[in-house]
Homo-oligomer: A and B are copies of this chain.
């Protein structure tokens, strides 16, 4: 005895690996398939279409397969999606649907609605007219939460055939490539995004300051290439310690030697800024005269400083509650098309968790582990570069600003 259903798929089925993943899903779940009809796109542009008959030994196995095929865009189910109310604030009905980071639609009374603010490992809430993505902590009592698998359609990211650097370098992480070429191609992509009014975010860790990458990042900010800066307490403190006292963690940034009593400068910087009330006030009152944070204030670049248990101080601008900080990150990432993540494991992974799969990401770290971790999250638009951030930002700023040298 067996259970059977026929499903259809359409799109760039081969280029985008959809067909391969469909076959894998069927076989991995102990199913069998037969191809009833297949029309491959005859040219680069034309989409392909397939109709597959799927067989499995139990209704359960078949349902598991159909759920996976549906996530690949298969048009099997024509039911509406189901809702249940959240029993409490921050609590979900048992059978909640957990999102991926791919574009998703839900079917309500026969009509398909795109889910807004999509990100992974969240739930979908329907307010009677719109579907939106919510993190668990942001769900309110009685919100209509999508449950089960009916009436949900996920659109896998299709790989374009006009090879950008994000297509051919995606998920290849190597320390040995010619990174200058790669960085010039990233510069081209950034310019193209900015020229059509798109937005760029930078996520940066404190090593950006220690390693002297800050000068280049500042040039990028002053020339309009950065729309948002997402980081934490340490980055901002190191930057302002350097501006105020010329040291970074007590090491003189001109001579490289340890300054007597210099380790105190870290706390001194925090105290000096907090005395002004905020970074913005420190700039306005002339206390803070240079550096990356100063450039952000002067150039109206939105910055968010998320607190962590590792922090000294912290600065008055730091959002110490992690749920609140996530909300501010989400706001700042609204409309961002490309994110540069540099030398920060914590904030880079936090940001990766909040992005749709279609947002391009560049993860730069001297250590393979971070780009590997981020690329394991399934984005097709992620480039990992194993290099020194000082090198990366200098080469990137040069490529963005001296077109001729490129």
Contacts and interface: CB of A to CB of B under 8 A. Distances in A.
A121 B312 contact: yes
Given A175-B366, A176-B207, A314 B310 contact: no
Contact of A255 (B27, B98, B181, B353): B181
A98 B263 contact: yes
A17 interface: yes
Interface stretch (A104-112, A191-199, A265-273, A279-287): A265-273
Contact of A353 (B68, B248, B310): B310
Interface in A240-275: 248, 251, 253-257, 260-261, 263-264, 266-268, 270-271, 274-275
Contacts of A261: 64, 67
Interface residues of A, number: 113
A95 to B, nearest CB: 10
Contacts of A2: none
A92 B163 CA distance: 36
B23 A20 contact: no
A346 B387 contact: no
Interface in A105-140: 121, 123, 135-137
A175 B343 CA distance: 11
Contacts of A96: 264, 267-268, 271
Interface string A148-182: 00000000000001010100100011111111111
Total identical chains: 4
Contacts of A329: 309
A84 interface: no
A238 to B, nearest CB: 10
Nearest to A169: B256
A266 to B, nearest CB: 6
A91 B388 contact: no
Contacts of A98: 263-264, 266-268
Given A29-B260, A267-B96, A313-B137, A179 B44 contact: no
A254 to B, nearest CB: 7
A270 B50 CA distance: 39
Say what secondary structure dominates the interface of chain A: mixed
Contacts of A68: 260
A185 interface: yes
17 contacts: A27-B163, A28-B168, A29-B260, A34-B42, A38-B38, A136-B267, A168-B257, A172-B376, A176-B211, A178-B211, A180-B212, A180-B390, A309-B350, A312-B353, A320-B322, A367-B367, A368-B372
A136 B275 CA distance: 13
A394 B180 CA distance: 12
Contacts of A314: 136-137, 322-323
Given A96-B267, A309-B325, A386-B366, A212 B178 contact: yes
Given A20-B15, A251-B177, A310 B350 contact: yes
A37 to B, nearest CB: 10
A334 interface: no
